[in-house]
Amino acid sequence: MIEAGATLGQLQRALPLDPLENRILLCHALGLPRTALITQAERALTDEEARHLAGLVQRRLDGEPIAYIVGEREFFGLPFRVDPAVLIPRPDTELIVELAIERLPQRARLLDMGTGSGAIAVAVAHTRPDAEVTALDLSEAALAAAQANAAANGARVRFLHSDWYGAVAGETFELIASNPPYIAAGDRHLGEGDLRFEPVGALTDHADGLSALRIIVAGAPAHLAPGGWLLLEHGYDQAEAVRELLAARGFIDVQSWRDLAGIERVSGGRLAA
Ligand code: GLN
């Protein structure tokens, strides 16, 4: 079915993936913009293009995430380069970016802990060029991807190789945000869908799912300016536990916010001023 002579118009209907993924792979394989599917619907595949496209479709059928196959995912309206060293940015994570942007004072310092592809840090820095954004990660490969994403999106971000607060000893920030690994060891989701291909260290703490969240909450008071906010993304069933961690450390205005699916996805609080 994917053979030389097949036209873009025919292939859009005939490829075995869902319609959006068919279009994404077709354009990626041929190096064409999305509009070509309409303006060049009669364009026919060459032999080589057919072989290349068939290979990509097979990878997708074998379960590989489409974002890794094409090497890109849009997040917060910006293009992010992704590779298997980083978690694929999720639409859910746009919530923590919006909450951070609303709460960050002018010319203030923001810290993104476990930045991965750089999604949170780059989206904030792009939207708020006044902000002094720092992003850290334990993975050098993730930092390379995040750095490329900051450069490609014209975002000014300072990157640090760091095991949680290790490299920011003595520093304070007006806001700390994080989307840490929060899936519990043995959770069946780790063996399903895109997660099978994503870096395990970005997904799970290999424990109860709360251990990274505990470390971040415990260290936050020493690294927040008075009145500063801590915002944490977490799993669908962790909001109450995270609110308890925050309250136990003396945070005020502790609350959770729902994502587009109506699930409590981000919890946070602030230090007393
Ligand atoms: N939101 C991701 C998922 O459940 C997990 C990301 C994370 O652990 N930080 O697919």
* Mean pLDDT per 10-residue segment, the chain (273 residues): 92 91 94 94 95 96 97 97 98 98 98 98 98 98 98 98 98 98 97 97 98 98 98 98 98 97 98 94
Cross-strand partners of 175: 110, 229
Residue with tokens 């709460």: 103
Burial 42-76 (b: 16+ CB within 10 A, else e): eebbeeebbebbeebbeebeeebbbbbbbebbebb
Binding pocket residue ranges, ligand 1, CB within 6 Å: 87, 90, 179-183, 195, 203
Q: Given the CA of residue 195, which atom of ligand 1 is nearest to it?
A: 10
Strand pairing class (264-270; 224-233): antiparallel
Q: Given the CA of residue 235, which atom of ligand 1 is nearest to it?
A: 4
pTM: predicted TM-score of the whole model, two decimal places? 0.95
CA–CA distance, 44 with 10 (Å, rounded to integer): 9
- Report the separation in Å between the CA atom of 203 and the middle of ligand 1, taken as the mean of its atom positions: 6
Residue 107: other Cβ atoms inside 10 A: 10
pLDDT given at position 45: 95
**Alpha helix stretches (DSSP H) within 84-209:** 94-103, 119-127, 140-152, 200-203
Residue having the nearest C-alpha atom to atom 10 of ligand 1: 195
pLDDT given at position 181: 98
Q: Quickly name the fold that domain 87-270 has.
A: Rossmann fold (3.40.50)
CA–CA distance, 195 with 204 (Å, rounded to integer): 10
Q: Given the CA of residue 233, which atom of ligand 1 is nearest to it?
A: 9
pLDDT given at position 1: 75
pLDDT given at position 199: 97
